[in-house]
Chain A
């Protein structure tokens, strides 16, 4: 054993972790072979048999549905604004997690994310053989995102803190602006909701429901803990009723009942009816998460705030809710993610969301038998959206947790 070859430390670690005993070795080797076979099979399918023409030809349909072509510049503008806002927020989050912490501006994960983003932006539009102009637009969007990320991280320290506090307000402002850009009004040509579709509709319905179910859910949770019997029982009844019914039945109910209940013309567009049903459905589940967060706040916090003279509202806003929501955040994000996936049910009530669009595409005889390609694309798109939600929530969680903040000295 004298001249046993010296292994690099990484290889030594690999050997320790994978081959520490004969049993482990057998298990490791069979797993590696299995994974390798699956990967090779998949790659051969993806680059050999699979025909991605179905995605290439229909990429616009998947993205925005039947949104009129001459108005699509509005969506590009919105995408660019969203990229800029994402870059800004990302950079600021890294630049100053807290006034008392000096963070690194470009952690390893961030550099990795930028590389993936840039490579994806260069490769994907090319692989899909999009028009040169559209490829260029995607490059510009990603360049804008990375540029804003860099600028925000670089110059955040120079910004006055009053201005920096305004950055989170960018998002609601952008949401309202986005609604105008998408639907028209204020001098823009109106594009009726029936012409929205694909990823646009999916994201719109999901973000609408996520944004609105949050305040409703918090109010339901507070109502459930209220001293007023009417409020308490009302909240309990609502939560239990909604949680006892499958979403799909509620969606059908919403489509039919709202039409009967509201006089003609007053009933909202089918898409809005569905979005409201999603909102009220999610609010009931969210209320339960918030309630668990509320019960994690010790009663002493409430007493301390009250004994300092804070009113009930101030106590909730300043002391109880910040702590409760931080505890409830992981569960809430879990619900937001399943809400995003629940939007696929919209296709069952005849709306052309991402899944609905996919079904119409697959029904086209020209693309017969191409369902694997379509479903895989759908899965990747959903995975990207959910991963973004998860990443954002984890960053927020770390930022809100006072215990992870190292001391100033």
Chain B
């Protein structure tokens, strides 16, 4: 199990973001995530949760504040962005698998191209990862031939194949049928037991309670509350959190 060492993996300070249309999405959001920690971000829709974690691997830019990931300060320097993206994996709500490649090719593409590792070795690792997420027999199929839950598990394996130190999950179960949510959450729970750092945007209360080390509430582009799951769900200190919990519990 991960004893939360005090080494900081992600540090976001007072992040401000405006979209080109003028919408003020992040209004001074701050968050610190330690190595091996599992942090769940909750909050009403439109509160900036997704935007926030997408700034961690520079899929979104920001205008003010600072973000440091694995000791590298996020700036507009492309080399830094590429370095960070190699260390940060991301799992999307819509899976975003590459439909023209087989499952196995989806996994091996980036390690071979970006990390320049030998293909045979990457394929061995990819098959082991598919085994781990429980879909080893689908390696030769195309994403379009899999169910949503299977696709999302492939997406997780694809992110893991780059051996990232941080995994970001952007509502990984929100577009799945209820019976498929569980298979994906089980894989995520299995991962959380490892040393990998995870930041998860989700509405799954049970996952947050059982797996998270800390739960964060975002509202209106700000981090309102940060607490351990027990405190967060039973004795939140902010009125805004109580209102949110009333609506979802």
Q: Is there an interface contact between A308 and B142, defined as CB atoms closer than 8 Å?
A: no
Q: Enumerate chain B residues within 8 angstroms of A384, measured Cβ to Cβ.
A: none
Interface residues of B (CB under 8 A from A): 57, 59, 82, 85-86, 88-90, 92, 94, 96-100, 109-110, 113-115, 137, 140-142, 144-145, 155, 158-159, 162
Q: Is there an interface contact between A306 and B59, defined as CB atoms closer than 8 Å?
A: yes
Q: Is there an interface contact between A314 and B113, defined as CB atoms closer than 8 Å?
A: yes
Of B94, B97, B110, B141, which is within 8 A of A309 by CB?
Answer: B110
Q: Report the separation of the CA atoms of residues A306 and B82 in the bound assembly, to the nearest whole angstrom.
A: 8
Q: Report the separation of the CA atoms of residues A159 and B137 in the bound assembly, to the nearest whole angstrom.
A: 27
Q: Report the separation of the CA atoms of residues A226 and B1 in the bound assembly, to the nearest whole angstrom.
A: 47
> A304-B92, A314-B114 are known contacts. Are A405 and B59 too (CB-CB below 8 A)?
no
Of B88, B141, B158, which is within 8 A of A408 by CB?
Answer: B141
Number of interface residues of A (CB under 8 A): 26
Q: Report the separation of the CA atoms of residues A309 and B111 in the bound assembly, to the nearest whole angstrom.
A: 9
A-B Cβ contacts below 8 A, count: 74
Q: Report the separation of the CA atoms of residues A100 and B104 in the bound assembly, to the nearest whole angstrom.
A: 13
B238 to chain A, nearest CB (A): 32
Q: Report the separation of the CA atoms of residues A301 and B113 in the bound assembly, to the nearest whole angstrom.
A: 17
Of A307, A322, A402, which is within 8 A of B57 by CB?
Answer: A307
> A300-B94, A314-B113, A405-B142 are known contacts. Are A307 and B100 too (CB-CB below 8 A)?
no
Closest to A308 in B: B110
Q: Is there an interface contact between B92 and A309, defined as CB atoms closer than 8 Å?
A: no
Q: Is there an interface contact between A310 and B114, defined as CB atoms closer than 8 Å?
A: yes
**Can you spell out 7 A-B residue pairs with CB atoms less than 8 angstroms apart?**
A306-B59, A307-B59, A308-B110, A310-B110, A319-B98, A323-B99, A407-B145
A100, A323, A405, A408: most-surrounded residue (chain B CB, <10 A): A408
> A301-B96, A323-B100 are known contacts. Are A311 and B140 too (CB-CB below 8 A)?
no
A328 to chain B, nearest CB (A): 14
B100 to chain A, nearest CB (A): 5
Interface residues of A (CB under 8 A from B): 100, 298, 300-301, 303-311, 314, 318-319, 322-323, 326, 400, 402-403, 405, 407-409
Closest to A99 in B: B140
Q: Report the separation of the CA atoms of residues A363 and B164 in the bound assembly, to the nearest whole angstrom.
A: 75
> A314-B113, A407-B145 are known contacts. Are A300 and B96 too (CB-CB below 8 A)?
yes
Q: Enumerate chain A residues within 8 angstroms of B99, measured Cβ to Cβ.
A: 323, 402
Q: Is there an interface contact between A318 and B85, defined as CB atoms closer than 8 Å?
A: no
Q: Enumerate chain A residues within 8 angstroms of B109, measured Cβ to Cβ.
A: 308, 310, 318-319
Q: Enumerate chain B residues within 8 angstroms of A311, measured Cβ to Cβ.
A: 82, 114
Q: Report the separation of the CA atoms of residues A407 and B137 in the bound assembly, to the nearest whole angstrom.
A: 12
Q: Report the separation of the CA atoms of residues A301 and B88 in the bound assembly, to the nearest whole angstrom.
A: 17
> A304-B98, A318-B113 are known contacts. Are A309 and B162 too (CB-CB below 8 A)?
yes
Q: Enumerate chain A residues within 8 angstroms of B88, measured Cβ to Cβ.
A: 307
Q: Is there an interface contact between A326 and B100, defined as CB atoms closer than 8 Å?
A: yes
Of B96, B115, B142, which is within 8 A of A402 by CB?
Answer: B142
Q: Enumerate chain A residues within 8 angstroms of B115, measured Cβ to Cβ.
A: 309
Q: Report the separation of the CA atoms of residues A314 and B100 in the bound assembly, to the nearest whole angstrom.
A: 15
B157 to chain A, nearest CB (A): 12
Closest to A323 in B: B100
Q: Is there an interface contact between A408 and B113, defined as CB atoms closer than 8 Å?
A: no
Interchain residue pairs A-B with the least CB separation, the first 8: A304-B96, A308-B110, A300-B96, A307-B90, A309-B86, A402-B142, A309-B114, A309-B85
Q: Is there an interface contact between A408 and B140, defined as CB atoms closer than 8 Å?
A: yes
Q: Enumerate chain A residues within 8 angstroms of B97, measured Cβ to Cβ.
A: 304
Q: Report the separation of the CA atoms of residues A322 and B59 in the bound assembly, to the nearest whole angstrom.
A: 22
Closest to B85 in A: A309
Q: Report the separation of the CA atoms of residues A303 and B159 in the bound assembly, to the nearest whole angstrom.
A: 13
20 new A-B contacts at CB < 8 Å, known A301-B98, A405-B142: A300-B92, A300-B94, A301-B96, A303-B59, A303-B92, A304-B96, A307-B57, A307-B90, A307-B159, A308-B89, A308-B158, A308-B162, A310-B109, A314-B113, A322-B100, A323-B99, A403-B144, A408-B140, A408-B141, A409-B137
B152 to chain A, nearest CB (A): 12
Q: Enumerate chain B residues within 8 angstroms of A322, measured Cβ to Cβ.
A: 100
Q: Enumerate chain B residues within 8 angstroms of A308, measured Cβ to Cβ.
A: 85, 89, 109-110, 114, 158-159, 162
Q: Enumerate chain B residues within 8 angstroms of A305, measured Cβ to Cβ.
A: 98, 110
B176 to chain A, nearest CB (A): 16
Q: Enumerate chain A residues within 8 angstroms of B57, measured Cβ to Cβ.
A: 307
Closest to A299 in B: B96
Q: Enumerate chain A residues within 8 angstroms of B98, measured Cβ to Cβ.
A: 301, 304-305, 319, 323
B144 to chain A, nearest CB (A): 5
Q: Report the separation of the CA atoms of residues A296 and B97 in the bound assembly, to the nearest whole angstrom.
A: 15
Q: Enumerate chain B residues within 8 angstroms of A402, measured Cβ to Cβ.
A: 99-100, 142, 144
A226 to chain B, nearest CB (A): 16
Q: Report the separation of the CA atoms of residues A313 and B89 in the bound assembly, to the nearest whole angstrom.
A: 20
Q: Is there an interface contact between A303 and B82, defined as CB atoms closer than 8 Å?
A: no
Q: Report the separation of the CA atoms of residues A88 and B208 in the bound assembly, to the nearest whole angstrom.
A: 59
B164 to chain A, nearest CB (A): 9
B95 to chain A, nearest CB (A): 8
Q: Is there an interface contact between B85 and A307, defined as CB atoms closer than 8 Å?
A: yes
Q: Enumerate chain A residues within 8 angstroms of B114, measured Cβ to Cβ.
A: 308-311, 314
Q: Enumerate chain B residues within 8 angstroms of A310, measured Cβ to Cβ.
A: 109-110, 113-114
Of A304, A326, A400, A407, which is within 8 A of B141 by CB?
Answer: A407
B166 to chain A, nearest CB (A): 11
Closest to B155 in A: A304
Q: Is there an interface contact between B96 and A303, defined as CB atoms closer than 8 Å?
A: yes
Closest to A409 in B: B137
Q: Enumerate chain A residues within 8 angstroms of B85, measured Cβ to Cβ.
A: 306-309
Q: Report the separation of the CA atoms of residues A301 and B109 in the bound assembly, to the nearest whole angstrom.
A: 13
Closest to A403 in B: B144
B20 to chain A, nearest CB (A): 12
Q: Enumerate chain A residues within 8 angstroms of B92, measured Cβ to Cβ.
A: 300, 303-304
Q: Enumerate chain A residues within 8 angstroms of B96, measured Cβ to Cβ.
A: 298, 300-301, 303-304
